[in-house]
Amino acid sequence: GENVEQHPSTLSVQEGDSAVIKCTYSDSASNYFPWYKQELGKGPQLIIDIRSNVGEKKDQRIAVTLNKTAKHFSLHITETQPEDSAVYFCAARTNAGKSTFGDGTTLTVKP
Amino acid sequence: DAGITQSPRHKVTETGTPVTLRCHQTENHRYMYWYRQDPGHGLRLIHYSYGVKDTDKGEVSDGYSVSRSKTEDFLLTLESATSSQTSVYFCAISDDLGYTFGSGTRLTVV
């Protein structure tokens, strides 16, 4: 089955700096790569996603890049703000409909 | 989250007792999932469903069963709860794109 590895497990940045979280996947059949943000006491929430036919996607301060050949994808957050502090999960999904998640990255943005 | 609710939100139960968690959706989405979240393990898939009466096992299905008799409801049952099943349980729904998660059920088995 699919295996997704996520790094780093914790990340601390100064407000205004950029943050990058990286994931690798094992199943070349995976074709959909979402990112979720989980705030304390809540369920994960989809923040951005990318399909395998696209190399990069941006939404304001958030961007995701995908390298299909190397089987890795990354989340980039620019101009970080304290409200970006949360746990972030990457995931990989095939047409079978189920996603495999990374173990999560705890991002702390220091004011 | 809008369109998906989990009940109960919190539960404490004794070892050996049966427990059922409920996930209800109003989105008419085909896919429904149960995940558990534990420190250091992220989100792990327990069971999932492609439709009414169509379910399959995930990576950590031992000790759990599910049922989906209606599109809107997906039930997770612990037949005989153990302390290792203390966790936060999340239900998710999907229309073949990203997931929408419920708010979670915190289950403690004592």
Chain centroid to Cα B84, Å, comes to: 16
Q: What is the pLDDT of residue A107?
A: 98
CB-CB: which of A36, A46, A98 is closest to B48? Answer: A98
Q: Report the alpha-carbon distance of residue B100 to residue A36 in Å, rounded.
A: 10
Instruction: Inspect the interface and report whether the beta carbons of A97 and B31 lie closer than 8 Å.
Output: yes
Give the confidence band of B2 by pLDDT, cuts at 50, 70, 90: low
Q: Consecutive 10-residue runs of chain A (111 residues): their mean pLDDT?
A: 93 98 95 95 95 90 96 97 97 83 96 92
Q: Report the alpha-carbon distance of residue B79 to residue B69 in Å, rounded.
A: 18
Strands of B64-70's sheet, edge to edge?
B4-7, B19-25, B73-78, B64-70
Q: Report the alpha-carbon distance of residue B49 to residue B60 in Å, rounded.
A: 15
Residue A66, CA distances (Å) to A102, A104, B110 in order: 15, 18, 44
Q: What is the pLDDT of residue B88?
A: 97
Nearest residue of B to residue A99, measured between CA atoms = B45
> Which run of H or E residues covers position A26?
none
Test mutation, B6, B37, B99, chain A, max A CBs within 10 A: B99
Q: Report the alpha-carbon distance of residue B16 to residue B18 in Å, rounded.
A: 7
pLDDT, one tens digit per residue, over B32-85 is 999 999 987 889 999 999 999 999 999 999 999 999 999 999 999 999 999 999
pLDDT, one tens digit per residue, over A3-32 is 999 999 999 999 999 999 999 999 999 999
Nearest to B15, CA basis, from B109, B105, B103: B109
Give the confidence band of B98 by pLDDT, cuts at 50, 70, 90: confident
Indicate if the pLDDT at residue B1 is higher than 70: no
Instruction: Inspect the interface and report whether the beta carbons of B101 and A43 lie closer than 8 Å.
Output: yes
Ordered DSSP codes for B52-109: TTEEEE-TT-TTEEEEEEETTEEEEEESS--GGG-EEEEEEEESSSSEEE---EEEEE
Give the confidence band of B20 by pLDDT, cuts at 50, 70, 90: very high
Q: What is the pLDDT of residue A96?
A: 67
Q: Which amino acid is at B20?
A: T
Instruction: Inspect the interface and report whether the beta carbons of A44 and B101 lie closer than 8 Å.
Output: yes
CB contacts of B45 in chain A (<8 Å) are 98, 100
CA distance A32 to chain B (A): 8
Nearest residue of B to residue A31, measured between CA atoms = B97
Q: What is the pLDDT of residue B73?
A: 97
CB contacts of A46 in chain B (<8 Å) are 98-100
